[in-house]
Amino acid sequence: MSETATAPAALRVAVLVGSTREGRFAPVVTEWIKGHIDQRGDMSVDVVDLAKTPLPTVLPDFGQAPPAATTEALALVSPRLADADAFVFVTPEYNHSFPAALKNAIDWHNTQWHAKPIGFVSYGGISGGLRAVEQLRLVMAELNATTIRNTVSLHNVWGLFDEEQAMRDPQSDAAAKSMLDQLTWWAHALRDARNARPYAA
């Protein structure tokens, strides 16, 4: 009697939008990478926009429960991060680093990042946000996450999209596919590992 292999469940990818600045370019970049994920049959996507779901900037003392308003704000974000099998961070570069809102969202959470892969889509001027990504790698290593080697770095981003917000640069599309391919491999491997045994942080 032959056995039929069951296809693995689609990977749940949370796209975390790090910029909350007024007039930000983040929605254009986010819709572009979301489009790449939507085209894949092995991923589903949930966009977590920190401008639409802001988190408090005052953290409670260790061991103390947060106030009710903070709990309500976290309820709009934390379960979605916990459910994700993988993440894509969309981030600009602010002063050679990444936005404070993104660091705040990272610091509010811990186990949600454990043993999960993170891909990066950075953007900006001549640097393309690369220095933001380098610092994010250090932060996420402390939180037991696995960052993907291949990144998407959009240099001089404002000229890469046309009037309809479509990508002009085929190399950027190729970079997005490469990053998502690596993210998929790591997401499957780490999900299987987490299912086999609890992660020991």
What number of other Cβ atoms are within 10 A of residue 118's Cβ? Answer: 24
- In order of 71, 87, 185, the CA distances from 153 in angstroms are 35, 16, 20
pLDDT tens-digit readout, 44-73: 999 999 999 999 999 989 888 889 999 999
pLDDT at 4: 62
| pTM to 2 decimal places | 0.94
pLDDT at 5: 65
Return d(Cα 78, Cα 177) in angstroms, integer. 27
pLDDT at 62: 87
Q: Is the pLDDT of residue 6 over 90?
A: no
Q: Is the pLDDT of residue 98 over 50?
A: yes
Average pLDDT for 176-188:
98
Average pLDDT for 27-33:
98
pLDDT at 23: 96
Q: Is the pLDDT of residue 2 over 60?
A: no
Identify the CA nearest to 48 among candidates 85, 22, 78, 21. Answer: 78
Give 11-57+68-194's CATH code, choosing from 3.40.50.10140, 3.40.50.2300, 3.40.50.970, 3.40.50.360: 3.40.50.360
Q: Check: CB of residue 145 under 8 Å from CB of residue 113.
A: yes
pLDDT at 160: 97
pLDDT at 1: 45
Average pLDDT, the chain: 95
pLDDT tens-digit readout, 140-181: 999 999 999 999 999 999 999 999 999 999 999 999 999 999
